[in-house]
A and B are shown apart, each in its own frame.
Chain A
Amino acid sequence: MSKQPQTSSLLTPVWSRLSRMEPIYIILAAIVLAIVLSNPIYADYGPMMQLLRRASPLIVLAVGQLFVIVSGGFDLSVGSLITFIVLLSALVLNTHPEQVYACIALCLAIGIAAGSLNGLVVSLLKVPSIIATLGMLLAYRGAGLYLSGGSARGNLPDTFRAFGRETVYGFPIALIVVIVFGVFAAWILHGTNYGRQLFAVGTNPRAARLSGVNVTMVRVVAFMFSAVSAVVAAILLGGFSGVSTAVGNGYELQAISAAVLGGAVLLGGRGSVPAVIAGAIALHALFTLLNIWGFPKPMRDAVQGIIIISAVAYSAWRR
Chain B
Amino acid sequence: MAGGGEAEVNQTSGLNGSDNPAECNAGGTIVQLNKISKRYGPVMALENVDFSCRKGEVHALVGENGAGKSTLVKVLVGAVMADAGECTVNSRKVVFRHPADAQKMGIAIVHQELNLLPDRTVAENIFMGRELTRNGMLDRRGMSNKSKAVLERLNLTIDPDTSLRDLSVAGQQMVEIAKAIAFDAQVLVLDEPTATLAADDSQTLFDLVRTLRERGLAIVYISHRMSEIFDLCDHVTVLKDGASVLSKATSEISPEQLVKAMIGRDLEKYYPPYGQVSDDAPVVLRVANGANNVLHGINMHLRKGEIAGVFGLKGSGRSELAYALWGSPGFTSGTVETVGKLALDLCTPRSAMADAVGFVPESRKDEGLALSLSIADNAMLPRRTLDGAMRHTSDANSQDVLSVFKSVGLDPADRNGEVANLSGGNQQKVVLSKWLLTGAEILVLAEPTRGVDVSAKAAIYTLLRQLADKGKSIILLSSELPEIVGMSDRIYVMRGGTITKEFARGADEAAILMEAGGSTSAKG
Which A residues lie at the B interface, using CB under 8 A?
1-2, 190-197, 199-200, 203-204, 206-214, 217-218, 269-270
Q: A269, B386: Cβ atoms under 8 Å?
A: no
Known interface pairs A199-B370, A210-B349; A194-B381 also in contact (CB < 8 Å) = no
Which B residues lie at the A interface, using CB under 8 A?
40-41, 326, 328, 348-350, 353, 359, 361, 366-373, 377-378, 380-382, 384-394, 434
Q: B390, A194: Cβ atoms under 8 Å?
A: yes
Cα A213 to Cα B387 with chains together (Å): 11
Known interface pairs A196-B384, A214-B350; A206-B41 also in contact (CB < 8 Å) = no
Indicate which residue in A199, A209, A210, A212 contacts B373 across the interface (CB closer than 8 Å).
A199
A-chain residues with CB within 8 Å of residue B393 when the two chains form the complex = 190-193, 195-196
Q: Mostly helix, strand, loop or mixed at chain B's interface? A: mixed
A-chain residues with CB within 8 Å of residue B348 when the two chains form the complex = 212
CB distance from A267 to the nearest CB of B (A): 10
Q: A199, B386: Cβ atoms under 8 Å?
A: no
Cα A190 to Cα B377 with chains together (Å): 12
Q: B381, A208: Cβ atoms under 8 Å?
A: yes
Known interface pairs A209-B349, A212-B349; A199-B377 also in contact (CB < 8 Å) = yes
Known interface pairs A207-B368, A210-B349, A213-B385; A200-B373 also in contact (CB < 8 Å) = yes
CB distance from B168 to the nearest CB of A (A): 25
Nearest residue in B to A195 (C-beta to C-beta)?
B393
Cα A204 to Cα B369 with chains together (Å): 7
CB distance from B38 to the nearest CB of A (A): 15
CB distance from A5 to the nearest CB of B (A): 16
A-chain residues with CB within 8 Å of residue B387 when the two chains form the complex = 193
Q: Mostly helix, strand, loop or mixed at chain A's interface? A: helix
CB distance from A186 to the nearest CB of B (A): 12
Q: B384, A203: Cβ atoms under 8 Å?
A: no
Q: A203, B371: Cβ atoms under 8 Å?
A: yes
Q: A196, B366: Cβ atoms under 8 Å?
A: no
Kindly list the 6 A-B residue pairs having the minimum CB-CB distance in the complex, ordered from nearest: A203-B370, A194-B389, A193-B384, A204-B370, A212-B385, A211-B381
Q: A211, B382: Cβ atoms under 8 Å?
A: yes
B-chain residues with CB within 8 Å of residue A190 when the two chains form the complex = 393
A-chain residues with CB within 8 Å of residue B382 when the two chains form the complex = 211-212
Indicate which residue in B371, B384, B394 contacts A204 across the interface (CB closer than 8 Å).
B371
Cα A192 to Cα B390 with chains together (Å): 6
B-chain residues with CB within 8 Å of residue A196 when the two chains form the complex = 377, 380-381, 384, 393
Q: 17 additional contacts, CB 8 Å, given A2-B41, A196-B393, A210-B361?
A: A191-B393, A192-B389, A193-B388, A193-B391, A193-B394, A195-B393, A197-B389, A200-B378, A204-B370, A206-B366, A206-B367, A207-B367, A207-B370, A209-B328, A209-B349, A211-B349, A214-B350
Cα A269 to Cα B377 with chains together (Å): 12
Q: A269, B392: Cβ atoms under 8 Å?
A: no
Q: B390, A212: Cβ atoms under 8 Å?
A: no
Known interface pairs A2-B41, A195-B393, A196-B384; A210-B367 also in contact (CB < 8 Å) = yes
Nearest residue in A to B385 (C-beta to C-beta)?
A212
Q: B350, A193: Cβ atoms under 8 Å?
A: no
Nearest residue in B to A204 (C-beta to C-beta)?
B370
Cα A40 to Cα B476 with chains together (Å): 71
Nearest residue in A to B361 (C-beta to C-beta)?
A210
Indicate which residue in A2, A197, A210 contacts B384 across the interface (CB closer than 8 Å).
A197
A-chain residues with CB within 8 Å of residue B370 when the two chains form the complex = 199-200, 203-204, 207-208, 269
Cα A217 to Cα B328 with chains together (Å): 17
B-chain residues with CB within 8 Å of residue A217 when the two chains form the complex = 389
CB distance from B346 to the nearest CB of A (A): 13
Q: B385, A210: Cβ atoms under 8 Å?
A: no
Q: B326, A210: Cβ atoms under 8 Å?
A: yes
